[in-house]
Structure 1
């Protein structure tokens, strides 16, 4: 999903001084400490395998035919 395909898609992030960009909210839904929620970043490869990203959003460059999945979850 991207803003080119879905113009209403929105996200916010904040800059962490130690770790770089940190995804805060997607389409108005933000994780929080009280509810122990956050946005988990996953990638689905061209062969269908889904794995958790080992780097943050500021360091990852998707490969051709990969899908980045933003999964709202609890820790």
Structure 2
């Protein structure tokens, strides 16, 4: 299911962060750098990352392999900075 959200925080050095679903601070999901879609304009060196406050769209996926993350963001695309 396609959703939109705002990056709550993202640790570039670790390669993961959180996205607030529909901009709600109390409802957020995990995002890993491998889930960010390529964007040659924003990421010319090939390394994908997010910044706090960016608006993004993504697929919300149930995560059966994780004990602490019930839902994760996949196919993340930056909509606006």
Shorter chain as normaliser: what TM range?
0.3 to 0.5
Q: Considering Cα pairs closer than 8 Å and 6+ residues apart, tell me whether 1 or 2 has the greater RCO.
A: 2
**Larger of the two Rg values belongs to structure:** 1
TM-score, structure 1 length as denominator? 0.33
